[in-house]
């Protein structure tokens, strides 16, 4: 059985337990959210020993060089000594706008904290200071904007989303760490066609990525596809249509499963993507939203010809604490 050393104490770690679970089981409070190796809230540093490769997937080369790893997805097979990441600096910002975009989607705009830089489409981990609750939210703005924008899907029993909806108002201070994630526009293939497909608040990072690509003068065709069960589930349709109207090479398609809504294509987003893109060869593909939909769309994009290195995604994995 591997041993974990943390804050000068050593613990046995059962084979089926992660570093995070072992430390929590021994009474430590380690930041976490998705517990699935996606959000990076639980990043720690291995000060001795080697974290498993899986727990470093998605980290930057710099983080890997520093021996950082995600403690929720590291089940150690050999002894390891770990420390909480020291560079985990939380930024503070002030909320400037808080409006409902539809019945369940909240738009939050905030000031950009000093020295905070990001790429459109990345995400941050919002922290509720009073108890350390942490959740990931993607950034819908672009670095050129003088605000940071997030779109939050509100769940009635959602700890973070109901707090953001019920308690946060303009003037409130908000804290977050980040930015994280590899789902953003890069201008190394300006002529490649781009497909951005998402459902729910998965549209937030896609809006930022499309805006960024257009601002950087992308010449390939940019197609944005939004999916929902019905008209009520669509949001930001006017903003997407306006964005697409700013350039001849950009199109916006909204779709609903039941066919409701003006000018929508009828069908499940998977079928709408397939019908509009029978081939994705040579394309850059971005998919965001619920993990199941993201998984299916990624698979289709690959099977239809896109190279795996040209497929970027952010599955909005649900937190499980
Ligand atoms: C990389 C990443 C980026 C993300 N970006 C965004 C974003 O831009 N906008 C956004 O709204 N969310 C985003 N999420 C999801 C977000 O981090 C939270 O999981 C979500 O807001 C729910 O948190 P909560 O505290 O409100 O709910 P919790 O308290 O965590 O959950 C309470 C209950 O809410 C319901 N619930 C929560 N999440 C889901 C779900 N996904 N599907 C169905 N039911 C659910 C369930 O009933 C659950 O029991 C992202 C997640 C990741 C990993
Ligand atoms: S990556 Fe470990 S809690 Fe999200």
Q: What is the DSSP string of 75-144?
A: --SS-EEEEE-TT-PPEEEEEEEEEEEETTEEEEEEPPPTT----TT-EEEEEETTTTEEEEEE--S-TT
DSSP element (H, E) containing 164: helix 159-167
Answer yes or no: do 167 and 106 share one domain: yes
CATH number at residue 104: 2.40.30.10
Answer yes or no: do 200 and 309 share one domain: yes
Query: What's the 96 CA to ligand 1 centre distance in angstroms?
Result: 23
Distance CA 6, CA 256 (A): 50
Choosing from 145, 180, 215, the residue where a domain stops is 180
Answer yes or no: do 214 and 311 share one domain: yes
**157 Cβ inside 6 Å of ligand 1:** yes
**136 Cβ inside 6 Å of ligand 1:** yes
What pLDDT is stored for residue 241 in this prediction? 98
Answer yes or no: do 216 and 111 share one domain: no
CATH number at residue 45: 3.10.20.30
Answer yes or no: do 229 and 159 share one domain: no
CATH number at residue 203: 3.40.50.80
Choosing from 84, 110, 132, the residue where a domain stops is 84
Residues 6+ apart with CB under 8 A from 276: 223, 225, 253, 265
Residue 270 lies in a domain: yes
Q: Which of 178, 295, 319, 321 to mutate to test the pocket of ligand 1 (most atoms within 8 A of CB)?
A: 319
pLDDT in tens, the chain (321 residues): 999 999 999 999 999 999 999 999 999 989 899 999 999 999 999 999 999 999 999 888 878 888 899 999 999 999 999 998 655 578 999 999 999 999 999 999 999 999 999 999 999 999 998 888 999 999 999 999 999 999 999 999 999 999 999 999 999 999 999 899 989 999 999 999 999 999 999 999 999 999 999 999 999 999 999 999 999 999 999 999 999 999 999 999 999 999 999 999 999 999 999 999 999 999 999 999 999 999 999 999 999 999 999 999 999 988 765
Answer yes or no: do 172 and 216 share one domain: no
Residue 170 lies in a domain: yes
Query: What's the 261 CA to ligand 2 centre distance in angstroms?
Result: 37
Which atom of ligand 2 is nearest to 42's Cα?
2
Q: Which of 119, 137, 141, 184 to mutate to test the pocket of ligand 1 (most atoms within 8 A of CB)?
A: 137
Instruction: Give residue-wise pLDDT tens across range 180-223.
Output: 998 999 999 999 999 999 999 999 999 999 999 999 999 999 99
Choosing from 84, 110, 125, the residue where a domain stops is 84
What pLDDT is stored for residue 187 in this prediction? 93
Distance CA 108, CA 236 (A): 13
Nearest CA to ligand 1 atom 21: 161
Query: What's the 44 CA to ligand 2 centre distance in angstroms?
Result: 10
Answer yes or no: do 72 and 132 share one domain: no
Distance CA 140, CA 149 (A): 5
Residue 320 lies in a domain: no
Length of the chain: 321
Answer yes or no: do 69 and 128 share one domain: no
Instruction: Work out how many domains the chain is built from and give that number.
Output: 3
Residue 187 lies in a domain: no
Answer yes or no: do 78 and 32 share one domain: yes
Q: 148-153 and 43-48 as β-strands: parallel, antiparallel, unpaired?
A: unpaired
Residue 272 lies in a domain: yes
Instruction: Give residue-wise pLDDT tens across range 79-102.
Output: 999 998 655 578 999 999 999 999
Answer yes or no: do 212 and 308 share one domain: yes
What pLDDT is stored for residue 86 in this prediction? 53
Domain ranges, residue 241: 194-315
Answer yes or no: do 7 and 31 share one domain: yes
> Angle at CA 202, nearest 5°, toward 199 and 208?
125
Residue 189 lies in a domain: no
Residues 6+ apart with CB under 8 A from 161: 106, 135, 152, 153, 154, 155
Answer yes or no: do 125 and 227 share one domain: no
Query: What's the 120 CA to ligand 1 centre distance in angstroms?
Result: 20
Residue 226 lies in a domain: yes
Residue 321 lies in a domain: no
């Amino acid at each position: 059985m591997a041993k974990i050393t943390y804050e000068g104490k050593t613990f046995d770690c059962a084979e089926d337990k992660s570093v995070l679970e072992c430390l929590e089981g021994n009474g430590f409070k380690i930041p976490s959210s998705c517990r699935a190796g996606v959000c990076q809230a639980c990043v720690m540093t291995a000060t001795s020993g080697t974290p498993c490769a899986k727990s470093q997937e998605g980290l930057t080369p710099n983080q890997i060089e520093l021996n950082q790893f995600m403690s929720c997805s590291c089940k150690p097979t050999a002894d390891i000594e770990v420390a909480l990441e020291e560079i985990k600096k939380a930024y503070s910002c002030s909320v400037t706008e808080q409006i409902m975009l539809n019945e369940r989607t909240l738009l939050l705009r905030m000031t950009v904290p000093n020295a905070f830089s990001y790429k459109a489409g990345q995400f941050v981990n919002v922290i509720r200071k009073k108890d350390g609750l942490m959740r990931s939210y993607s950034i819908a703005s672009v670095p050129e904007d003088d605000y940071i924008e997030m779109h939050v899907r509100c769940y009635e029993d959602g700890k973070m989303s109901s707090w953001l909806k019920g308690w946060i108002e303009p003037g409130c201070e908000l804290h977050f760490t980040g930015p994280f994630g590899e789902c953003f526009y890069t201008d190394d293939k300006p002529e490649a066609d781009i497909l951005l497909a998402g459902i729910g608040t998965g549209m937030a990072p896609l809006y930022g990525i499309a805006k960024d690509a257009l601002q950087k003068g992308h010449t390939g065709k940019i197609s944005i596809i939004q999916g929902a069960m019905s008209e009520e589930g669509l949001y930001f349709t006017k903003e997407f249509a306006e964005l697409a109207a700013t350039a001849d090479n950009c199109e916006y398609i909204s779709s609903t499963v039941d066919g409701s809504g003006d000018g929508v294509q009828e069908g499940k987003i998977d079928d709408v993507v397939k019908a509009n893109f029978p081939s994705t060869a040579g394309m850059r593909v971005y998919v965001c939203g619920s993990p199941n939909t993201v998984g299916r769309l990624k698979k289709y994009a690959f099977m239809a010809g896109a190279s795996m290195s040209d497929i970027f995604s952010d599955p909005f994995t649900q937190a499980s604490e």
